[in-house]
Amino acid sequence: MVKRIGGVRRKTRYKLSKEKRGKGKISITNYFQSFSIGDRVYLSAESAVQKGMYHPRFLGKTGTIKGRRGRCYEVLISDISKEKTLVVHPVHLKKS
């Protein structure tokens, strides 16, 4: 078997990088924001926080809040023809 090189963050040099004005400490209100079930959100990765980050292929997708799992939220998205559930920390979500 061939050993795979790289992992989840492979080839994400520009995808997960921040703009010049966005660098520095992250907002606490953004970190502790809350959503209710059924809210429409879109996925925007905060690269300074790795905890609760989804796979980069879902960057920019829109989904609905399905439920809560610990500090994170279950987000239902449609990936081509399948519906998938992602467990995402609220710092990586924005209200739509």
Q: 14-71, pLDDT tens digit by residue?
A: 999 999 999 999 999 999 999 999 999 999 999 999 999 999 999 999 999 999 999 9
Q: What are the residue boundaries of the structural domains of the chain, listed by start?
A: 27-95
With vertex at residue 48, the alpha carbon angle to CA 45 and CA 53, rounded to the nearest 5 degrees, is 40
Q: Is the pLDDT of residue 5 over 90?
A: no
Q: What's the CATH number of domain 27-95, 2.60.120.650, 2.30.30.70, 1.20.1290.10, 2.40.160.60?
A: 2.30.30.70
Q: Sorting pLDDT into bands at 50, 70 and 90, what band is 12? A: very high
- For residue 91, which of 25, 43, 39 has the smallest C-alpha distance? 43
Q: Sorting pLDDT into bands at 50, 70 and 90, what band is 1? A: confident
Q: What is the pLDDT, as a whole number, of residue 60?
A: 94
